[in-house]
Structure 1
């Protein structure tokens, strides 16, 4: 793997890349860095593609602006387009999970001419709702703990999580996996901190995460804290406002969707029938696959199955791996 930096015009972004050929860009979520994709980079590069995993704005070794408003989807999409320009690519295939999934969905609306195809894990597309996201989570947070609400106040979650970064990461990764039912955190009353509601995690290594992998991720957050990632949550309403021109738009690029059977986003954050909504709003949906027993970090929990799905999609798309066109 090669490490490098590029100037997007607004920030300095750290990028990990491997292989040559048609570009495949991996977009992570919270609390991750581009390293979370390292197993997929190996597989995609070996299959003859140029695999690229940036640390997205506010994460890892990428610059973290102080202004909360600098973390909108529109701003981060600008970083991704600058990345394509930097490598001289007209288009790329984009892979997304968690916030990275929301990002690539919106990218395909804002700049479809730069998107060859999407491969999305766990976070299905849904059209812009009639009210801002806070209208939904504020009501729910009056009944039980909800991280979406808890993360909104600058400085609160930032201090709690930065004080115990390794404990937080192990507990949140475990809670989001197929080994735990994340929505049990909703059994806790409002007014608590995140570490008050997350389960204790078993000692590492786990069947799907090694100590070395965890250490790589934890060392970054021990150095940076979590404010950059939390600022993504603090822009959910702002993203809703900025997406008004696409309120009635549908996703028209070729799309492949894979999810874990036990993913909490599919169960609790994506509406009553997320797959029906996905199918109704993605016009070129080429595959929908469920992985039994897997949770939110599906690409780590079921690496071989996810890599097989990903490589199969790349080959079906039919881009020329040698020339990158």
Structure 2
């Protein structure tokens, strides 16, 4: 693989590591800075480390930046029960983290799966989460369609990846024999500078009788991911396996049942959205973005980054840092001034 530009290793970051108690589990987190709390929630298949560029920037802007390992990831607890990864458990984790840090409220920001986790945290506990930032995956309220039924009807050549992830052990059998290589291919496949050309297959569909990795193209790392960064991610999943991470996907129907009382509900707190122009998570959900005046009436700003893929806060860290800190200053703590 080629050697991309250097980015900080986990050991080089000036952060504090902690384990805090949450209902039935413990959550590992890292923090930097002081001031109003900003809770950062990663997606699949990542860890707190995906926020390595945002932690110092948010801290320098006058906030207490905290990035968690979502349950099932990294050094956080990994319950065996699939139902332990339902959305309600993630919301409870986030509330408990805020309390364990001695705070009453927080701004919450999420990327990929962390985006709906952050959105539902704000939706269910507006008393705790006073503002919400969503990266890559737009907010889409619960609706009348059972998720697995909807996924089964999605067009495309092959099986939709969320359907592929449903059966325990199936995706693990693909990924875990060579975690590092699989992660490299997955990250590259959704990055603007290394994703396959249109027409060469999609990482969102598994060919009949095949694997998701059948669509991986080349062996070049994206520019945002150094060999050292990949080592950090691979090291965590080689130790923990992928089951905890994949169990989030295995709760989509359970979430739909749990959240019936919030069907169609808007999030009214101040909000922010940042997506990538080349990210299918953004383009496939264009209708959700168009509905923001209704679903996110407190939206402060929305941004689509030209030529950017899925991993927005890593692919365009400087731009995302500026957008996040501007939003925090303008919409959350107007009195903060830069030096």
Q: TM-score, normalised by structure 1?
A: 0.93
Shift of 1:195: 1.6
Paired position in structure 1 for 2:273: 257
Paired position in structure 2 for 1:194: 212
CA contact (8 A) 2:31 2:55 kept: yes
CA displacement 1:112-159 (0-9 Å, x = unmatched)? 111121111111111212111111112337851321111111111112
Do structure 1's residue 62 and structure 2's residue 82 form an aligned pair? no
Shift of 1:258: 1.0
Q: How many equivalent residue pairs?
A: 318
Match of 2:300 among 278, 286, 298: 286
Provide the C-alpha distance between the structure 1 equivalents of 2:205 and 2:243, rounded to a whole number of angstroms: 26
CA displacement 1:91-111 (0-9 Å, x = unmatched)? 101111111000111111110
Do structure 1's residue 49 and structure 2's residue 71 form an aligned pair? no
CA contact (8 A) 1:141 1:149 kept: no
- List alignment gaps of at least 5 residues for structure 1: none
Paired position in structure 1 for 2:226: 210
Paired position in structure 2 for 1:15: 29
Aligned with 1:234: secondary structure? helix
Q: TM-score, normalised by structure 2?
A: 0.89
Paired position in structure 2 for 1:300: 314
Shift of 1:166: 0.5
- List alignment gaps of at least 5 residues for structure 2: 1-14
Match of 1:88 among 98, 102, 106: 102
CA RMSD of aligned residues (A): 1.8
Provide the C-alpha distance between the structure 2 equivalents of 1:217 and 1:267, rounded to a whole number of angstroms: 27
CA contact (8 A) 2:39 2:107 kept: yes
Change in Cα spacing, 1:314 to 1:182, as seen in structure 2 (3 Å) is: farther
Paired position in structure 2 for 1:234: 250
Change in Cα spacing, 1:146 to 1:199, as seen in structure 2 (3 Å) is: farther
